[in-house]
Every structure is written in C-alpha cells, then in structure tokens.
A and B are shown apart, each in its own frame.
Chain A
Amino acid sequence: MSKKESYKKLFKQTFLFFLVTVFIFVPLVGIKLLGWKYSLRIPNALFLIFGLTVIRFMIGVINLTPRLRGPFRKVFSQVSYLPHVAPTSISQRKKSLLFLVIALSFVLPFVIEQYWLSVMITALIYVMLSLGLNIVIGFAGLLDLGYVAFFAVGAYGVALLHHFFQIDFWLAMPIAAFLAMLVGGLLAFPVLRMHGDYLAIVTLGFGEIIRLLLNNWTEFTRGPNGVILPRPYISFFGIPFDKNSPNSFHNLLGIEYSLSHKSIFLYLCLLLIVIAVTYFCLRLKKMPLGRSWEALREDEIACRSMGINHVTIKLFAFGLGAFFGGIGGGFFAALTEFVSPSSFTFIESALVVSIVVLGGLGSIPGVIIAAVVMTLLPEVLRDIANVRVLMFGVVMVVMMIWRPRGLTRVLRPRFNKTSK
C-alpha cells in the first residue's frame, strides 16, 4: 500500500474512532443527571473525545513511520515471562537488602505518626490477605472471587466471640482463623469439580451469600449496624492497654500512657506473623504440595493422571488460603474495633485479586510489594483516591493484555538432581 493510501485509511479510521467516542462520552460524561433534570458538562466530554482521538491518531502515525514503529512495538508488545529457575543461592546483595527491609519495618512504628501507623497496619493486613489468596490463585490456579468471605469470617469471628463470650483476642483470633479455614473447606467441596469461569462465579456467589447473611441475620450478627468492640480491644497477652486500669500496660512498665502503644504492639505482632507466613509460603513452593498445585494449575487432567489427588490439594489450597484470610480478618477487627457487612463487599475481593495479579500470579515478593503499594498509593495521592477503583480496573485490564504474568518474574524453585 502506498503512503498516501495508508494515510487516507488512517484518517478514515481516526474519524470513525472520533464518532465512537462522541457517542460514548456525550451522553454519559457530557450530560449529568440531577434528580429528574440534567445539566450539561460538554467541556468534560470534549476533552475526553479530542484527547483520545489525538492519541489514536498519533498511534496510527507511529505505526506508519518505520523509524518509530520498532521501538514502539517493543515496549507495547505482549510479554509473558516464562517462569525462570531460581539461582541456587541468593546473592549477598539481595540478602543484605532483605535484612535491611526487615530491620526497617521493625523500626518503622516507633518513628511514624499514629495515622500512618494504622495505614501501615492496613497494608500488612492486605499483605496477609494477598499471600493467602496467592496460594489459591497463584499457586493452585483456582480463581476465587469470594475471598472476602474468609476475611469476613475472621473479623466477625473475633468480634462475635468477644460480643457473646468476652473471649480475648489472642484466643479468639486463632479460633476465628480456624473457623475461616473450616468455611474454606466447606466451600471447597462443592467446587471440587469446577474450574475456570464456573469456579469464579460460584465463589463469587458464595462470598455474596456470606455478606448477605451478615447483613440480614440481625439476631446473630446485629445486621447492618455491625458489632462494636470495646476500645482498646487488643491486650498485651492479657494485659490491657487501658488508660485508667491500675494494672495496665503503661503502669506495669512505668511509662507514660500513649494511644500509640496499642497500635505499635498490633503492628509488631502482625509483622511477625506476616514474616512467618511469607517464609511458610516460600517453603510451600518447594514442597510436594506446592509442586502438585503447580501441576494442577497448568493442566488439571494431566495432574490427576499423574496420581495426584486433586481433591486433597484443592482442599488444602482453599483451607490454607482461608486460614490466612481469617487471620487477616481477625487483625482487621482488632484494628478498627468495629465490624460491619459494608467492609466485606465484592470490591474487597476484586482488590485483593488485582493485587495478586499485579504482583505476578505466584510470585511472593511481587505480591507483597503490590499489596503495600496498592494500600499506600491512594493515601499518598489523595487526589486520585476517588478514582482508585477505576485505576484498579484499568490496571487489571492493561496487565492482562500487556504482562499477563505480572510485573516481576516468577521464579521456579530449583531442584537438584543429585541431592538425595
């Protein structure tokens, strides 16, 4: 095709693109409903229409210019990293970096303000959730869209155990986590035969059922009003953080009372648990169970014909994922000291899914980084807080098209033939 012809074609395509944007943005951006009336916001629509049309045209021009086309295609072509085999030993530099990060995270609570401390605790809770869901989606390849259910069971478990039996957090949290695991196992049974889309829909329905039960079963869960926990709820293994009680934490240590003691304690406990869970997940990858999951993810039929019991490993995946979700839920209740059904909507599940996707399905460092970034980013950039979910949506689409295996490389553990 001659240059003139291809430019003619580009103009035609751009014009069609322009028309499409007009019909998409004029009614929904250019006109805003106000009750039964409306107001015009044509400039907003025009901005989008012309902005996108210009971008479309530029892409067309780049594609027609040989000198620009090469590098452009290189950046935007679909890349899917194949899993790389991990090096035999971690390099010294990485080791010291890891040590530095851990040390910093232990020092962190003593230097930052109360507000940022609670943000960091939230981030850790999301790390917890993402590590749990990473087992289900990343390791075993089972797309679970109802993960928030286990989070909810953990949180409500802790809250209701206190509400009905006044059970302390340190006893209630493990019970709630096991309860979540039980619920996870319960969910696993009906979905054993399913995979892919069907599994996703059933887990989604399941998550919604849990939320609706919490919302409607008012005698047990107090319905939409939620359960309020006493403040301060969390105790130093039985020693309260209360201001006025004579044998409370600050009196025993002989230091001045501060609201942040409680948060620092919560943060440090959660950090220790997260580190333990991370280590556990890293080991899990190398264990027979981890490899069975990998086989299940790549090809269920082949996996089963190799003699792997898919029932057990699916149960383990859901159970473990739910257990970690439950722990996360317990800490969430301890942090907010109030739980209500509105904290456990589908958006929450989708958010954790998008963290796992962004981190690279199955990559543990990737997932941890993604969880921290996704929680901190909306706090840092207050202006974009209202487009947060919009950004998640865009990120999920772009990532799947552009880098379906996530931003980081997924490392397969190395197995030595001779090590026997």
Chain B
Amino acid sequence: MMWEIIQQTVNGLALGSIYGLIAIGYTMVYGIIGMINFAHGDIYMLGAYVTAISIAVISSIASMPVVLLLSLTVLIVVPITALHGYVLEKIAYKPLRHAQKLSALITAIGMSLFLQNYIQISQGARNQGIPTLISGGFTLWTDKISSLSAVMSYTQVVILVVTLVSMLTLAYVIKSTSLGRQCRSTQQDQMMSAMLGVNTDRVISVVFIIGAGLAGVGSVLVTLNYGSFDFFIGFIAGIKAFTAAVLGGIGSVTGAMLGGLLLGMSESFFSGLVNADYKDVFAFGLLIFFMVFKPTGLLGTPEVTKV
C-alpha cells in the first residue's frame, strides 16, 4: 500500500506541475482583462507539435546528448508558442477589449476551434509521438511483501526541476521587477496605470506572451512524459488547467500553481485508488464543486460587482 501512495504522490506532483504551468496563462489573462482565454489550451497543444517537430528536425541534423537536445527544443518551442499567444491577443481579443463579455468569450471559442482545425489540416488528424528520450528512474520505496516498488522516473525529475525553475523566475519577475509591478498595477486599476505612464496594451501583450511561453514549457514536458499527442489534447488539458486556476483562486499566480498541484495529486490518487476511467469526471466535478461553493478558490480575492 505504501508504495502505491508514494507512487501516486510522485505522479500527482509531476502531473500537477504541468497543470500549474498551463493554469498560469489562464489566471494571468483572467486577472488582467477579466476573460477566459479559451484558446490557451490549444496553444499548449500547438506547443506539443512544435516540440515533436523540433526534436525530429534537430536529431536529423546532428546527434547530440539528450540534455542539449531538450534545451534546444525548449529554446525553439517557447518563443514560438509565445509568439502565437501574442498574435492571438492581437487578432482576437484586442478589438474586443471594450465589447460585451459574451462576445469576447465566443471569439475565444472560435479561436480555439480554429487552432485545432488548423493543426488538424496542416499536421494530419492521426496521433503523433516522439521516441522515448529519457528512460529509467530512481526507486524510492520497495514493498517487502509484494516487492512492488515506487519509481520516480528521470522524466518526472526533469518535469519537477524545470517547473520549479520557471516558477521561481516568474515569481521573481512579478514580485521584483518594474515589468512585474506594471502587470500587477494594470490588473488592479488599468486606467490609473495608464495615467502613471504604463503602456497597458503592451502589458496585456506581455501577459499573453508569458502565459503562452509557460504553456510551451508545459507542452515540452508533457510530450517528454507521455510521448504521444493529437490535435485534441488542448481541450481536456485546457479545462483541467482552468480547473487548477479556479481551485487556486483565479487571478492569483501562486494559487494557480497550488491549484495545479492539488488537482494533479487528487486526480492521480483518484485514478490510482478509486477508478481510472472516471478521473476526468472527477476533475470536472471538482471544477463545478469549486465554482458553486467557493468561486474565489483558495487564494483568490472576492470579485465585487459594481452597480
């Protein structure tokens, strides 16, 4: 039993940190323009394709150590997803900055459908994959009776380390730099920020870029972990990450990470100990539960409707 608990904790942490990485994009965008970027999950999906493509292209040009290969891949994927985030904002959301919320949300759904189909057409509808790049892992615990052991794979180690580094960098940027201050001030009072000389349009673009870039990091890690993907993965991953953002309190970056870990762990335990078929039902149920009973999440600030 003990090995299973340890194993599910490790799996949950790895899964959760990826949810957290994607959730940050939702939470930051929601914080700053008050809308759900529905197409965010599809940016992540697109990142998975770019990951596989760059791994295929790089390894066809030269063979190199896995560490170098992965670093190069991250350096290719993150700018490309970030650029997609930037363009997405410019095309679909900026013209609707002052429109009704319903219009902006419908645009977002339209963008999401567009991206899915764009990839389906350009890359084909079938499942894609990458070869296993990192194999093996640490044995954390071995049960004496059944001799089953809990293993933390090296891929999971990479996931945790990369997530930790990205999170710390982001936390530093938001907490201590001028850009981070501008992001926070724009989130709290857009008009006043503009009057203090903050170029709020640029800040909003930056938020989309950061969100999409982190989703890109997430897609490299997921592709590394699972190896296979299709053009539809953005949808489920998107809702899951959004659930994580809600769990942690939408608008809060720390909350998004916390919510991601929480969702990853509970999902992993649910599928390990209760029923793997219903793990998505469980996650969506959790989403609805939180939306109904605690819409501010764990760390969110209550939303005040001005009349």
In angstroms, Cα B50 to Cα A407, docked, is 38
- Assess whether A401 is in contact with B96, with CB atoms less than 8 Å apart: yes
Which residues of A (346-374) have their CB < 8 Å from a CB of B?
346-347, 350, 353-354, 357, 361
B34 and chain A: residue at smallest CB distance: A197
Which residues of B (73-129) have their CB < 8 Å from a CB of A?
76, 79-80, 83-84, 87, 91-92, 95-96, 99-107, 109-119, 121-124, 128-129
B162 CB within 8 Å of chain A: no
- Assess whether B92 is in contact with A36, with CB atoms less than 8 Å apart: no
- Assess whether B109 is in contact with A145, with CB atoms less than 8 Å apart: yes
A223 and chain B: residue at smallest CB distance: B277
B59 and chain A: residue at smallest CB distance: A36
> Known: A190-B292, A201-B242, A390-B114. Is A353-B307 also a contact (CB below 8 A)?
no
In angstroms, Cα B96 to Cα A353, docked, is 19
- By a CB distance below 8 angstroms, the chain A residues around B121 are 386-387, 390
Q: Mark A8-35, 1 if CB is under 8 A from B, else 0.
A: 0000000000001001100111011101
Q: Mark A288-318, 1 if CB is under 8 A from B, else 0.
A: 0000000000000100000000000000000
> Known: A36-B131, A346-B235. Is A20-B116 also a contact (CB below 8 A)?
no
- Assess whether B129 is in contact with A38, with CB atoms less than 8 Å apart: no
- By a CB distance below 8 angstroms, the chain B residues around A35 are 128-129
- By a CB distance below 8 angstroms, the chain B residues around A393 are 110-117
- Assess whether B288 is in contact with A200, with CB atoms less than 8 Å apart: no
- By a CB distance below 8 angstroms, the chain B residues around A346 are 235
- By a CB distance below 8 angstroms, the chain B residues around A108 are none
B194 CB within 8 Å of chain A: no
A284 CB within 8 Å of chain B: no
> Known: A28-B119, A208-B280. Is A395-B110 also a contact (CB below 8 A)?
yes
- Assess whether B106 is in contact with A198, with CB atoms less than 8 Å apart: no
B291 and chain A: residue at smallest CB distance: A202
Best-buried of B56, B96, B115, B128 by chain A (most CB within 10 Å): B56
> Known: A205-B288, A346-B235, A396-B106. Is A33-B36 also a contact (CB below 8 A)?
no
> Known: A24-B87, A197-B101, A301-B305. Is A33-B123 also a contact (CB below 8 A)?
yes
- Assess whether B102 is in contact with A190, with CB atoms less than 8 Å apart: no
- Assess whether B113 is in contact with A392, with CB atoms less than 8 Å apart: yes
A246 CB within 8 Å of chain B: no
B54 CB within 8 Å of chain A: yes
- Assess whether A37 is in contact with B124, with CB atoms less than 8 Å apart: no
Number of chain B residues close to chain A: CB under 8 A: 68
A400 CB within 8 Å of chain B: yes
- Assess whether A204 is in contact with B117, with CB atoms less than 8 Å apart: no
Count how many pairs of residues, one from A and one from B, have CB atoms less than 8 Å apart in the complex. 170
Best-buried of A208, A347, A392 by chain B (most CB within 10 Å): A208
- Assess whether A350 is in contact with B305, with CB atoms less than 8 Å apart: no
- By a CB distance below 8 angstroms, the chain B residues around A196 are 101-102, 105
- Assess whether A204 is in contact with B288, with CB atoms less than 8 Å apart: no
Q: Mark B53-69, 1 if CB is under 8 A from A, else 0.
A: 11011001000000000
B3 CB within 8 Å of chain A: no
Which residues of A (365-420) have their CB < 8 Å from a CB of B?
386-387, 389-390, 392-397, 400-401, 404
In angstroms, Cα B92 to Cα A401, docked, is 8
- By a CB distance below 8 angstroms, the chain B residues around A213 are 281
B113 and chain A: residue at smallest CB distance: A393
- By a CB distance below 8 angstroms, the chain A residues around B277 are 216
- By a CB distance below 8 angstroms, the chain B residues around A205 are 239, 243, 284-285, 287-288
- By a CB distance below 8 angstroms, the chain A residues around B106 are 143, 353-354, 357, 396, 400
- Assess whether B122 is in contact with A29, with CB atoms less than 8 Å apart: yes
In angstroms, Cα B53 to Cα A35, docked, is 10
Which residues of A (201-225) have their CB < 8 Å from a CB of B?
201-202, 204-206, 208-209, 212-213, 216
- By a CB distance below 8 angstroms, the chain A residues around B218 are none
- Assess whether B111 is in contact with A33, with CB atoms less than 8 Å apart: no
Distance in Å: Cβ of B74 to nearest Cβ of chain A: 14
- Assess whether B292 is in contact with A394, with CB atoms less than 8 Å apart: no
A194 CB within 8 Å of chain B: yes
- By a CB distance below 8 angstroms, the chain A residues around B280 are 208, 212
A330 CB within 8 Å of chain B: no
Give which listed residue, A23, A32, A37, A404, contacts B100 with CB less than 8 A.
Answer: A404
B44 CB within 8 Å of chain A: no
- By a CB distance below 8 angstroms, the chain B residues around A193 are 292
- By a CB distance below 8 angstroms, the chain B residues around A404 are 99-100, 103
Give which listed residue, B104, B113, B129, contacts A389 with CB less than 8 A.
Answer: B113
In angstroms, Cα B284 to Cα A321, docked, is 23
- Assess whether A198 is in contact with B291, with CB atoms less than 8 Å apart: yes
B298 CB within 8 Å of chain A: no
- By a CB distance below 8 angstroms, the chain A residues around B84 are 24
B99 and chain A: residue at smallest CB distance: A404
B295 CB within 8 Å of chain A: yes
In angstroms, Cα B52 to Cα A394, docked, is 27
- By a CB distance below 8 angstroms, the chain A residues around B284 are 205-206, 208-209, 212
> Which residue numbers of B lie inside 8 Å of A, CB to CB?
30, 35-36, 46, 49-50, 52-54, 56-57, 60, 76, 79-80, 83-84, 87, 91-92, 95-96, 99-107, 109-119, 121-124, 128-131, 235, 239, 242-243, 246, 277-278, 280-281, 284-285, 287-288, 291-292, 295, 305, 307
Name 14 A/B residue pairs within 8 A (Cβ), A-sorted.
A20-B87, A24-B83, A27-B53, A33-B52, A33-B128, A35-B128, A196-B102, A201-B239, A204-B239, A208-B284, A209-B284, A353-B106, A393-B117, A400-B107
Inter-chain pairs besides A36-B130, A145-B109, 19 sampled, C-beta below 8 Å: A24-B83, A28-B123, A32-B124, A37-B56, A38-B53, A38-B56, A143-B106, A197-B105, A198-B295, A201-B36, A206-B284, A208-B284, A301-B305, A393-B116, A394-B110, A395-B110, A396-B109, A397-B91, A397-B92
